[in-house]
Amino acid sequence: MVLLSVGVVLLLVGALAGYLYGVNSTPTKTTTAVTTTTLTTTFTATSTSLDASEQVSNSFASHMLFISERNAFAIVSQYEENATVTWMGNPAPGGLGGFYNGTGVIFLLMNASFISRAGSYSIGNVTHATVDISADSAVVNSSFDISGQNYNQGFPYGYAATFNSTVSAQDFYVYSVSQGTWLISTETWNFLNFTFQSPLPTTGG
- Residue 170 scores a pLDDT above 70: yes
164 contacts 132 by C-beta, under 8 angstroms:
no
- Give 191's contacts (C-beta < 8 A, 6+ positions apart): 87, 88, 89, 90, 91, 92, 93, 165, 166, 167
**Domains of the chain and any CATH numbers:** 6-10+35-201 (3.10.450.50)
Write the pLDDT tens digit of every residue in 119-165.
Answer: 888 999 999 999 888 889 999 999 999 998 876 655 555 566 788 99
Q: What are phi and psi of 84, to 5 degrees?
A: -125, 140
Q: Rounded to the nearest 5°, which phi and psi values hold at 155?
A: -115, 135
Higher pLDDT, 133 or 91: 133
Q: Which residues, 6 or more positions from 73, have their beta carbon under 8 angstroms from its beta carbon?
A: 107
| pLDDT digits 0-9 by tens, 93-114 | 878 899 999 999 999 999 888 8
pLDDT above 90 (res 202)? no
More reliable by pLDDT, 60 or 11: 60
Give φ, ψ of 187 to 5 degrees.
-135, 135
Q: What is the structure's pLDDT at 10?
A: 39
Q: Which residues contact 13 (CB under 8 A, 6 or more apart)?
A: 111, 112
pTM of the model: 0.72
Coil/strand/helix, residue 151: strand
**How crowded is residue 81: how many other Cβ atoms within 10 Å of its Cβ?**
9
DSSP-assigned letters across all residues of 67-134? HHTT-HHHHHTTEEEEEEEEEEETTPGGG--EEEESHHHHHHHHHHSHHHHSSEEEEEEEEEEEES--
For the chain, the average pLDDT equals 76
How high is the pLDDT of residue 137? 95
Residue 14 has pLDDT above 70, yes or no: no
pLDDT of residue 29: 33
Q: In the prediction, which pLDDT does 154 show?
A: 56
